[in-house]
């Protein structure tokens, strides 16, 4: 956080500068306080009104301008978009109070036309008694004021971190410290107290008895431990340590934290922070470190490819489109599958009768897919029904004349590409159709979120 006091002015040129920014669409007025009859938010107030009021305020009773350059103009800037307009406004108001301008008329403008969000403050150096506000050591006092405000805010931020950490289930004080350190809060100890340190300053503390009582009430989450082991076992094949960590944290809110001795690259242990279920576990409670990092016993990608090819060959392939669908689903090379039997009208009619019967009985498409285990895929704009039990694919248009609302269900969009990470997971999948469909759906959803975020970023840049 940076504060900078700009040049003084006899004409309050800072008002014109900021109002001109508003006219260009690169700034907004957040606050106009202590302007008497110029009520905040009133329509039709021009910069001349604000300037006129500030000039009048700065004159003595006999209309003399006792301070030659009465404008006080300062900028408070944060790093990047770290602080919102509202947060910067709060800091600016507290800053004005500490600098002696809290009772003066003042304007606060928010700017976002640079890489760093910032606010401009314009006020008068003359107080309500007509005397000049003390400006001795102004820049030093300015920096001190900002630091005090930030420490105040940081204290509340740290207390929130502590409350959040105490909401997790953990078995040791080291795990409690790990939670706080992941949020940038260091923990010190003295006598019967924990000190919480941020940016090198002690900003809060807690009695050790609070933590002791919590640790005594700890119970090991057996079911969650089994779930986490199954999760890691499922996604570990084909991924290195960094990729596995990224996937678990991004998709499941599970953070792997490796512990290393100073100067050593090889970890001696690890912890699991399960943000989804608010648990902190010793890694060994779930899986030994050697097992987690080991690649021994993993089936090769080539063997997995053979298994997937075999699984795909069990499906009835009656057209080139169906072959392309299965090639995408089973993550096989283009042209590796061919039609292996003629079209089965009896199978199509059976699927059609089931679908239309359930629709006639008022079942929704989500209900139908859940009860039958069917999936819907889209290839080149056409929707297909994947019948996992019968190992058959049917164009939906050949099954029913009804208009189905595909927006109600997760459609596997096979026209879209997959991320490198999802592709590697598919390469090491055993070929279970349910697992493959799940991996593809997750990968496509992740890609969709990324694309949408990119679109939002582009729109923001255009503005």
CA of 92: how far to CAs of 29, 110, 347, 385, in Å?
Answer: 13, 11, 72, 60
Specify the pLDDT at position 237. Answer: 77
Specify the pLDDT at position 86. Answer: 95
Domain range summary for the chain, segments of one domain joined by +:
2-135, 153-216, 222-293, 301-447
0.85 exceeded by the pTM? Answer: no
Count of alpha carbons within 13 angstroms of residue 400, beta-carbon side: 19
For 77, the enclosing helix (H) or strand (E) is strand 71-77
End-to-end Cα distance, the chain:
25
Specify the pLDDT at position 350. Answer: 95
Task: Please enumerate in sequence order all residues whose Cβ is within 8 A of that of 283, keeping only pairs 6 or more positions apart, or say none.
Answer: 256, 269, 270, 271, 272, 289, 292
pLDDT along the chain (463 residues), means of 10: 93 94 94 80 67 90 80 95 93 96 97 93 94 93 88 83 96 96 92 89 91 96 96 83 88 93 89 96 95 70 80 92 92 90 93 96 95 94 94 96 93 82 69 72 60 47 43
CB atoms < 10 A from the CB of 135, how many?
Answer: 15
Specify the pLDDT at position 298. Answer: 59
φ/ψ of 306, rounded to 5, equals: -60, -40
Strand order in the sheet with 375-379: 392-395, 382-387, 375-379, 411-413
E strand map for 233-320: 254-259, 269-274, 279-282
Specify the pLDDT at position 241. Answer: 84
Helices (H), 25-137: 47-57, 85-99
Structure tokens at 271: 């912890």
Specify the pLDDT at position 227. Answer: 96
If one looks up domain 153-216 in CATH, what number appears?
3.30.1300
């Amino acid at each position: 956080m940076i504060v900078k006091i700009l040049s003084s002015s006899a004409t309050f040129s800072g008002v014109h500068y900021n109002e001109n920014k508003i006219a260009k669409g690169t700034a907004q007025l957040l606050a106009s306080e202590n302007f008497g009859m110029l009520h905040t938010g009133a329509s039709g107030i021009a910069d001349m009104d604000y300037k006129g009021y500030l000039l009048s305020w700065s004159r003595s009773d006999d209309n003399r301008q006792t301070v030659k350059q009465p404008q006080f103009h300062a900028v408070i800037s944060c790093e990047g978009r770290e602080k919102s307009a509202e947060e910067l406004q709060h800091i600016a108001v507290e800053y004005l109070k500490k600098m002696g301008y809290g009772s003066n008329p003042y304007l606060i403008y928010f700017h976002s036309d640079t890489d760093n969000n910032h606010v401009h403050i314009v006020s008068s150096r003359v107080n309500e008694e007509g005397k000049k506000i003390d400006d001795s050591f102004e820049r030093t006092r300015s920096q001190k004021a900002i630091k005090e405000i930030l420490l105040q805010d940081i204290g509340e931020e740290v207390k929130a971190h502590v409350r959040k950490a105490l909401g997790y289930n953990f078995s040791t004080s080291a795990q409690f410290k790990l939670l706080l350190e992941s949020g940038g809060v260091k923990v010190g100890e003295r006598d019967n107290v924990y000190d919480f340190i941020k940016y090198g300053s002690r900003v809060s503390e807690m009695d050790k008895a609070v933590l002791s009582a919590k640790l005594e009430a700890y119970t090991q989450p057996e079911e969650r431990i089994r779930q986490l082991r199954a999760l890691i076992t499922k996604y570990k094949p084909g991924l290195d340590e960094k990729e596995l960590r990224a996937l678990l944290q991004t998709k499941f809110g599970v953070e792997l934290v490796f512990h290393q001795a100073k100067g050593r690259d090889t970890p001696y242990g690890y912890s699991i922070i399960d943000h989804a279920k608010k648990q902190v576990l010793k890694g060994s409670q779930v899986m030994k470190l050697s097992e987690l990092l080991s690649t021994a016993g993993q089936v090769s990608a080539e063997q997995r490819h053979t298994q997937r090819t075999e699984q795909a060959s069990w499906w009835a392939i009656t057209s080139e489109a169906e072959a392309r669908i299965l090639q995408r689903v089973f993550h096989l090379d283009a042209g590796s599958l061919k039609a292996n039997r003629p079209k089965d009208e009896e199978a199509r009619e059976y699927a059609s009768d089931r679908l239309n019967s359930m629709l006639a009985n008022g079942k929704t498409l989500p209900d139908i897919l859940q009860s039958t285990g069917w999936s819907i895929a889209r290839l080149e704009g056409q929707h297909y029904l994947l019948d996992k039990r019968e190992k058959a694919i049917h164009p939906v248009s050949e099954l029913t004349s009804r208009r189905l609302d595909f927006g109600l269900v997760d459609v596997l969009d096979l026209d879209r590409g997959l991320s490198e990470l999802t592709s590697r997971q598919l390469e090491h999948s055993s070929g279970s159709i349910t697992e493959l469909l799940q991996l593809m759906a997750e990968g496509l959803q992740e890609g969709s979120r990324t694309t949408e975020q990119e679109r939002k970023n582009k729109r923001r840049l255009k503005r």
